Amino acid sequence: MTSNFTRSLLAFAITLTTTQGIAKPAFQQTIFFGDSLSDSGYYRPLLPNEIQAITGKFTTNPGWVWSEYVASYYGSNASPNGNSQSGNNYAAGGAHINEPSISILGEAPSLTSQTNAYLSAHGGKADPSALYTLWGGANDLLDTLTTPEQIHTIIGNATTAEISLVSTLKNAGAHYILVAAIPDLGLAPRARNTGTTAQSTAAATAYNTTLFTALKSAGLQVIPIDTFHLLQELITSPATYGFSNTTDTACTLQLPLCNPTTLVDANAPNTYAFADDIHPTTAAHHMLGQYAISILEAPRLQQVLTRSAQGIARARAYQVAWHLDGTPQQDGLHWWGSMRSDSQRNDSNDLYKSVAPAGLFGFDWHSGQIVSGGFIGYGRMHADFSNGNGTFKQKDTTLGGFSGWYTGPVWVNAQISYTLLNYDIKREVQLGPATRIHRGSPNGSNLTVALNASYEMGEGRLRYGSVAGLTWQKTKLESYTEQNASSTALGYADQQLNSLLGRVGLQMRLEGNVVTPYLQVTYDHEFKKQQNQANAWLQTMPEAGIYSVPGLTFNRNYASIVLGARTKIGHLQSNVGLTTSTEKNARDVTLFVNGNF
């Protein structure tokens, strides 16, 4: 019987630790509607075959445009759609919001036509897990330079049409729609060359304010991208971002025909801000892509903060529950302490990795089979966000109480604790060669209530049995705004993460005179649903309101293994071991040493 139980326990451990999880990206696909700023080659099939590979985009070909960088990050595509092409990028150079227009290579479908074409090809339905992007209006605004008396009418018509597109996509099922602001057109060489700098800047400002204010008033939540202030920041400090020229053009041939043989300098795509008198170079597009990705990913990083605190609390609750081994103790006051190092890592979602040393100190009052007491704890975590997104430090200070009923082979205990959380966050945003740093110092809290039980039986020195536990947590993070206000700076609302974790499993130990090794294997299940969305707001565009992106997803079923050894020398009892929770490409590990005296 003993050997059969041992084999069963080992098989149970192997089965659980190889359980496969599911890691989901933020967006299942990316779809783009827009003009030349997003066009990844709409007109390429119309160009001569011999030059198609190095032309076709409104930038320093064959470099990428920003939409391609965003699509690549999320494992999707931004291949052009139109002119017998069937990709996810419907954007076409020269496109207006609502009216068709004629470009040098033929008709440019409006953003309205692009959106209708997509919906028609997909049965009128939008994918709720996809990222949709709308970036248009620049060509509508350029019309106002020749007819300034119609500026209010043009802006009104264009923004109304763009709002209608957002509503259409929402009604079709889209959840996540990125809407980019019009850049400061007054900074482009065209405005300087035509003496319309002030007029162009004012027109872009009016368009953006009208659009995003109306979207918020209509209750249409979008993901705003502030290219207006971003371009101002790049032009104000060009050397910071690797630009040596922000006034002239990198191309000597009209777009989209510009190619490596028609540049003013071979390195111009990297050192010039503008390809022609209005369009960005490859380097500028790269920064636009990096910027958009940072806005999409930053809210998700904030959910790491509550998840990390939850993991620390779970490890702490386990140490409290198991600081006694269930054997009878002499009545009276006893002291105990615990030191541990918690490590959290999640590679599959490119989230974070951390190390957190922590300590506990407590007392127990034994009276027959009843044990009651209290404890205090303190810990510090240092964590790195993956992909160069920065770091955060977490401090936790805990006060708790404990009570249990122990009869030897059977025991049950309960605990409650409250933890104050303090964070020091450094979020990094890479823009070309420059790294922006946004700091924040929010506070938070964690309330934990746990119930654990153990049953043992056995023959001789070998003891085996079952374990079970239930841990409830409420973790809160207060709202805060990041320092270094700029186009990349965000603000975050209050956050709350609830958890109800159940665990059942098997245990065994080999009783020794001095050392008693033991093993536990449990199946853990999270009963609470995960946070569906993560939220933030853009500090330079408060009129846009709060935006949402998909929340982080984690396995709700996983395995935990505890391997350790208890020793007893005189009145001193110690417990040294390792705890690990395992899921696909993610693992929490705790090394611990406890002492009772």
Reply yes or no on whether the pLDDT at 276 is more than 50: yes
Relative to beta strand 533-538, strand 490-492 is antiparallel
pLDDT at 538: 98
Reply yes or no on whether the pLDDT at 107 is more than 70: yes
Residue 281 phi/psi, 5-degree rounding, is -80, 180
The CATH code of domain 30-280 reads 3.40.50.1110
pLDDT at 571: 74
Reply yes or no on whether the pLDDT at 7 is more than 50: no
pLDDT at 584: 60
**Mean pLDDT across the stretch 37-60?**
97
What average pLDDT does the chain have? 92
Burial 408-418 (b: 16+ CB within 10 A, else e): eeebebbbebe
Is 418 within 8 Å of 446 (Cβ atoms)? yes
Distance between CA 329 and CA 348 in Å, rounded? 46
Task: Give the DSSP letter of residue 182.
Answer: P
Reply yes or no on whether the pLDDT at 52 is more than 90: yes
Share of the chain above pLDDT 70, in %: 94
Q: Does residue 455 sit in helix, strand or coil?
A: strand
Reply yes or no on whether the pLDDT at 364 is more than 60: yes
Distances (CA, A) of 573 to 176, 325, 569, 576: 56, 10, 6, 10
Distance between CA 310 and CA 500 in Å, rounded? 11
Is 225 within 8 Å of 179 (Cβ atoms)? yes
Q: Between residues 409 and 289, which one has the greater pLDDT?
A: 289
Q: How confident is the model at residue 219 (pLDDT cuts 50, 70, 90)?
A: very high
Question: Could you tell me the fold of the domain covering 305-560?
Answer: Lipocalin (2.40.128)
Of 279, 323, 366, 438, catalytic = 279
pLDDT at 208: 98
Relative to beta strand 272-274, strand 332-346 is unpaired
Reply yes or no on whether the pLDDT at 11 is more than 50: no
- Structure tokens given for 483: 């320092």
pLDDT at 24: 56
pLDDT at 124: 98
Reply yes or no on whether the pLDDT at 4 is more than 60: no
pLDDT at 586: 63
Distance between CA 50 and CA 261 in Å, rounded? 14
Distances (CA, A) of 142 to 39, 151, 197: 18, 10, 12
Residue 420 phi/psi, 5-degree rounding, is -90, 130
| Identity of the residue numbered 331 | D
Q: Between residues 281 and 586, which one has the greater pLDDT?
A: 281
| Domain spans in the chain, listed from the N-terminal domain onward | 30-280, 305-560
Is 36 a catalytic site residue?
yes
**Mean pLDDT across the stretch 134-151?**
91
Distance between CA 189 and CA 250 in Å, rounded? 11
Q: Between residues 212 and 596, which one has the greater pLDDT?
A: 212
Task: Give the DSSP letter of residue 72.
Answer: H
Distances (CA, A) of 533 to 44, 175, 294, 429: 38, 10, 16, 21
**Mean pLDDT across the stretch 520-543?**
94
Distance between CA 346 and CA 323 in Å, rounded? 28
Of 36, 40, 200, 581, catalytic = 36
Distance between CA 55 and CA 62 in Å, rounded? 6
Is 525 a catalytic site residue?
no
Is 222 within 8 Å of 179 (Cβ atoms)? yes
Q: Among 20-24, 110-114, 192-196, 285-289, where is mean pLDDT lowest? A: 20-24
Q: Does residue 433 sit in helix, strand or coil?
A: coil
Is 279 a catalytic site residue?
yes
DSSP string over 74-107: TT----BBSSS-BSSB---TT--SSS-EEETTEE
The model's pLDDT over 117-140, given as tens digits with 9 standing for 90+, comes to 999 999 999 999 999 999 999 999
Query: How many other C-beta atoms can be found within 10 angstroms of the C-beta atom of residue 431?
Result: 21
**Mean pLDDT across the stretch 493-507?**
96
Q: How confident is the model at residue 349 (pLDDT cuts 50, 70, 90)?
A: very low
Of 276, 342, 364, 524, catalytic = 276
pLDDT at 40: 98
Reply yes or no on whether the pLDDT at 190 is more than 80: yes
CA 257 to chain centre: 38
Query: How many other C-beta atoms can be found within 10 angstroms of the C-beta atom of residue 290?
Result: 19
pLDDT at 347: 57
pLDDT at 597: 78
Distances (CA, A) of 430 to 279, 290, 295, 338, 389: 22, 7, 12, 41, 8
pLDDT at 18: 34
pLDDT at 581: 83
**Mean pLDDT across the stretch 18-41?**
78
Q: Among 77-81, 449-453, 454-458, where is mean pLDDT lowest? A: 454-458
